Structure 1
Amino acid sequence: MWYNNILETIGNTPLVKLNTITKGVPGTILAKIETTNPGNSIKDRMAVKMIDDAERSGKLKPGGTIIEGTSGNTGMGLAMAAIVKGYKCIFTTTDKQSKEKVDALRAFGAEVIVCPTNVEPEDPRSYYSVSSRLEREVPNSWKPNQYDNLANSQAHYEQTGPEIWEQTEGKITHLVVGVGTGGTISGTGKYLKEKNPNIQIWGIDTYGSVFKKYKETGIFDKDEIYPYITEGIGEDFLPANVNFDVIDLFEKVTDKDAALMTRDIARKEGIFVGNSAGAAIGGLIQLKDKLKPEDVVVVIFHDHGSRYMGKMYNEDWLRERGFLQDEKLTAKLILAKKEAAEIVTLDATKSVLEAINTIKSMNISQIPVTQQGMIVGKIAESDILTALLENPGLKSAPISEIMTATFPFVDLNTSIDKISSLINKENSAVLVEDESGKIEIITQYDIINAISG
Structure 2
Amino acid sequence: MSGLLDLVGGTPLVTLRSGVHAKLEYLNPGGSVKDRAALAMVLDAESSGALCPGGTIVEGTSGNTGLGLAQVAAARGYRMVCVLPDKTAVEKLDALRAYGAEVVLTPSALPKEHPNHVVAWAARIARETDGGWWADQYGNPANPAVHFRTTGPEIWEATSGRITHLVATIGTGGTISGTGRFLKEASDGRVQVIGADPATSSYGGGDGSPFAIEAAGHYVHPKTVDDPWPDSYHRDVVDAVVSVPDRASITACRSLARDEGLLVGGSSGTAYAVASSVTGDCVVVLLPDSGRAYLTKYHSDTWVRRQGFVDGELAGLASPVVSVPVGTPVAEARRVLEESGQPALPVVLAGRSDRFPPAAGEVLALVTFADLTAGTVGPAAVPPVGLGVGESVADALDRFPDGEVAHLVRDGRLAGLVTRADLSSGR
TM-score exceeds 0.5: yes
Q: 1:431 to 1:263 in 2, by over 3 A?
A: closer
Which residue among 306, 310, 324 is the counterpart of 2:296?
A: 310
Change (3 A) 1:192 1:414: closer
Count of aligned positions = 335
**SS of corresponding position for 2:155:** helix
Is residue 203 from structure 1 mapped to residue 201 from structure 2 by the alignment?
A: no
Matched, 1:8 2:6: yes
Structure 2 counterpart of 1:202, one-letter code:
I
> Mapping of 1:315-354 within 5 angstroms?
315-325=301-311
Partner of 1:123: 114
The answer for the alignment partner of 2:345 in structure 1 is none
Counterpart of 1:226? 209
Return closer, same or farther for 1:206/1:86 CA change in 2, 3 Å cut-off. same
Deviation at 1:144, TM superposition (A): 0.8
Aligned partner of residue 65 in structure 2, secondary structure:
helix
User: Could you report, residue by residue, the CA deviation over 1:223-259 in whole angstroms, capped at 9, with x for unpaired residues?
Assistant: 8221211111111440101111111110111111111
The Cα shift of 1:432 comes to: 5.8
Larger Rg: 1
* Partner Cα separation in structure 1 for residue 95 and residue 260 of structure 2: 26
Q: Matched residues in 2 for 1:61 and 1:254: separation? A: 44
2:308–2:390 CA contact under 8 A, matched in 1: no
Partner of 1:88: 79
Tell me, in whole angstroms, the C-alpha distance in 1 between the residues paired with 2:109 and 2:386. Answer: 27
Equivalent residue of 1:152, what SS? Answer: helix
For the structure 1 residues 439 and 17, does the alpha-carbon distance in structure 2 shift closer, same or farther, using more than 3 Å as the test? same
Task: Give me the TM-score of the superposition, normalised by structure 1.
Answer: 0.69
Residues of 2 paired with 1:412 and 1:125: CA distance?
30
Matched position secondary structure for 1:175:
strand
Identity of aligned residues (%): 40
Amino acid across the alignment from 1:304: S
Residue 176 of structure 1 pairs with residue 167 of structure 2 = yes
Counterpart code for 2:210: P
| CA distance in structure 1 between the aligned counterparts of 2:150 and 2:268, rounded to whole angstroms | 20
- How much has 1:412 moved relative to structure 2? 7.8
1:99 aligned onto 2:90: yes
Counterpart contact for 1:96–1:229, Cα < 8 Å = no
Paired residue secondary structure (1:245): helix
Q: Distance in 2 between matches of 1:412 and 1:60?
A: 47
Cα distance in 2 for partners of 1:412, 1:204 equals 26
1:350-429 matched pairs, under 5 angstroms: none
Residue in 2 that maps onto 1:244:
235
- Tell me how far apart the structure 1 counterparts of residues 271 and 44 of structure 2 sit (CA, whole Å): 30
CA distance in 1 between counterparts of 2:119 and 2:13 reads: 34
Stretches of structure 1 that go unaligned for 5 or more consecutive residues are 23-27, 214-222, 333-408, 420-428, 442-453
Shift of 1:126: 0.8
Q: 2:48 aligns with which of 57, 73, 81?
A: 57
Alignment-mate amino acid for residue 12 of structure 2? P
Q: What's the secondary structure of 2:237's corresponding residue?
A: coil
Residue identity matched to 1:7:
L
* Deviation per residue, 1:118-148 (Å, 9 max, x gap): 1122211210111111111111100010011
SS at match of 1:303: coil
Contact 1:183 1:241 in 2 (8 A): yes
Equivalent-residue separation in structure 1 for 2:103 and 2:263 (angstroms): 26
Task: Return the alpha-carbon distance in structure 2 between the equivalents of residues 280 and 155 of structure 1.
Answer: 21
Q: Kindly provide the amino acid, as one letter, of the partner of residue 36 in structure 1.
A: L
Partner of 1:340: none
After superposition, the CA RMSD in angstroms is 2.9
Q: State the secondary structure of the residue aligned to 2:248.
A: helix
Map of 1:300 onto structure 2: 286
| Separation in structure 1 between the aligned mates of residue 200 and residue 386 of structure 2, nearest angstrom | 30
Please report how far the alpha carbon of residue 207 of structure 1 lies from its aligned counterpart in structure 2 after TM superposition: 2.5
Q: Give TM-score scaled by structure 2 length.
A: 0.73
Which 4+ stretches in 1 moved above 3 angstroms?
409-416, 429-436, 438-441
Partner of 1:233, secondary structure, is: coil
